[in-house]
Copies of this chain bind each other. A is one copy, B any other.
Amino acid sequence: MQVAVGKDKHFRFELIHQSRKSRARVGRIHTPHGIIDTPSFVAVGTNGTVKTLDSRTVQDLGVQLMFCNTYHLLVQPGTEIIQNAGGLHKFMKRDLPLITDSGGFQVFSLKYGGVAAELKSKGAKKTSGGCVVKVTEDGVAFRSYRDGHKIFLSPETSIQAQKALGADIIVAFDELLPYHIDKRYQQLSLDRTHRWAQRSLEEHKKNVKQQALYAVIHGGVDCDMRKQSCDFLTKHDFDGFGIGGSVGKNRQEMHEMLSFMAPMLPGDKPRHLLGIGDLPSLELCVPLGIDTFDSAHPTKAARHGLFFTKNGGLRILKSGNCNNFGSVQPGCVCHTCKHYSVAYLQHLFKANEPTVQALATIHNVHFMVQLMAEYRRRILAGDV
């Protein structure tokens, strides 16, 4: 069911139900490409596709919002080709809502590597200086990981790139800091990220193009800075808020920080938790009123042979599975469970057949979509 969204109201958050038990809520984000029922899992399709699946399959699985990375699309194929195609939706043949990030996440990952690697290394910068990053007031200078050519991203160029891509939701340019960071630099970066958010908003307002702009709340694991960020950003006319940066080195820290922030976020705007979507985190964050979660975890886990089930993960390579001719999750109606046995899937994994990575991804994405529908049902029933 698609509700018409007027030209002046191309984007709005509709609150359907607010839990009395927790901050959990059921809502709908209306966008030019349709509705996102919240809380919702947002599938990650970095290069304009969910790894191993095609756009039509992702739509058929009921993924209402998909996340693409501006930095990657800038590097390959570049915004010009996507503009020539008529925008990212048409380029990748997706009819449903899209969100792009600002490129700020790559400042982090090029400098520090992945989140887990950074936590482990206690903040040591990556030594392979293939993609030198220089951060100034103006913006960030990268080198393309493909051919080494220089890319400069500022609030203005990031928003312009995201305008060219044309996602329904775009994100203000920010600097993502690691968990281990010097306090003085953190405050300096936070203030700059706030100025960047303002500049992003100004650039966005020049040509809204029916897009919604989210700001990203930063401040790391420092409550005072998180409060500063909430106070500052919620005063401005953003359409929604992402929660970015490190929210802690473990789930307990994350839960404490998000509990602290939740009351500071306006109730009439959607909240997106950036890059977190593992199952225990969802269980903690849905009751805090987070509306959308993007995470590559379910699809990455699938490619490594971890199938999600209601009773925990099924590791397909476990030896006992070689004679299990039942489906991964009895009763599951996904294409994979409807047709293939655990034993066959294990065989395909052992034989290094790429087919199975797609079959596993289908199952895990279907699982996530069902899980979020179940959360919405439980919130409506007063159970969350």
A354 and B357 within 8 A (CB): yes
In the bound complex, do residue A347 and residue B77 qualify as a contact, i.e. CB atoms below 8 Å apart?
yes
> Considering residues A48, A54, A91, A92, which has the most beta carbons from chain B within 10 angstroms of its beta carbon?
A54
Residues in chain B near residue A343, CB distance under 8 A: 77, 81, 84-85, 91
Are the C-beta atoms of A56 and B335 separated by less than 8 Å? yes
In residues 261-318 of chain A, which contact B (Cβ within 8 Å)? none
Are A47 and B339 within 8 A (Cβ)? no
Q: Are A355 and B54 in contact (CB under 8 A)?
A: yes
Query: Does the CB pair B353–A49 fall under 8 Å?
Result: yes
Q: Cβ of A72 < 8 Å from any Cβ of B?
A: yes
- Within 8 Å of chain B (Cβ to Cβ): is A53? yes
A167 within 8 A of B: no
Interface residue A51 (Cβ < 8 Å from any Cβ of B) = yes
A187, CB-defined interface residue at 8 Å = no
Q: Are A354 and B355 in contact (CB under 8 A)?
A: no
- Identical chains in the assembly: 2
Decide if B84 touches A323 in the complex (CB within 8 Å): yes
Q: How far is the CB of A75 from chain B (nearest CB, A)?
A: 9
Q: How far is the CA of A150 from the CA of B325 in the complex (A)?
A: 28
Nearest neighbor of A356 in chain B, beta-carbon distance: B49
Chain B residue numbers with a CB within 8 Å of A381 are: none
A56 near B339 with CB under 8 A, answer: yes
A89 → B minimal CB distance (Å)? 12
Q: Are B49 and A322 in contact, with the CB atoms below 8 A? A: no
Q: Is the CB of A52 within 8 A of B92?
A: no
- Cβ of A360 to closest chain B Cβ, rounded Å: 11
Residues of chain B within 8 A of A339, CB atoms compared: 54-56, 93
| Known A54-B339, A340-B54: A348·B47 in contact at CB below 8 Å | yes
**Looking across the interface, which residue of chain B has its beta carbon closest to that of A92?**
B344
Contact indicator A347/B48 (Cβ below 8 Å): yes
Cβ B354 vs Cβ A322 within 8 A: no
The answer to the question of A198 belonging to the interface, with a C-beta cut-off of 8 Å to chain B, is: no
**A359 (CB) vs chain B CBs: closest residue:** B54
Q: Tell me the complex Cα distance, A344–B45, Å.
A: 14
A173→B35 CA distance, assembly (Å): 60
Indicate whether A353 sits within 8 Å of B47 (C-beta atoms), given known contacts A56-B335, A93-B344, A339-B54: yes
A346 to B81, CA, bound (A): 11
Complex alpha-carbon distance, A353 and B361, angstroms: 14
A358 within 8 A of B: yes
Whether A354 touches B354, Cβ cut-off 8 Å, given contacts A48-B344, A93-B344, A344-B93, is yes
- Among residues of B, the one whose C-beta sits closest to the C-beta of A85 is B325
Is A211 an interface residue, CB under 8 A from the partner?
A: no
**A249 interface hit (Cβ, 8 Å):** no
Contact A72 to B341, CB < 8 A, known contacts A81-B323, A323-B84:
no
Closest to A146 in B: B350
Cβ contact of A341, chosen from B85, B322, B323, B353, cutoff 8 A: B85
CB contact under 8 A between A49 and B355, given known A55-B339, A76-B350, A77-B347: yes
A-to-B contact residues, CB < 8 Å: 47-56, 72, 76-77, 81, 84-85, 91-93, 322-323, 325, 335, 339-341, 343-344, 346-348, 350-351, 353-355, 357-359
**Could you pull out 8 A-B pairs where Cβ atoms are within 8 angstroms?**
A50-B355, A51-B355, A81-B322, A84-B323, A85-B325, A91-B341, A93-B340, A354-B358
In the complex, besides A47-B347, A54-B355, 4 extra interface pairs with C-beta distance below 8 angstroms are A49-B353, A51-B354, A54-B335, A85-B343
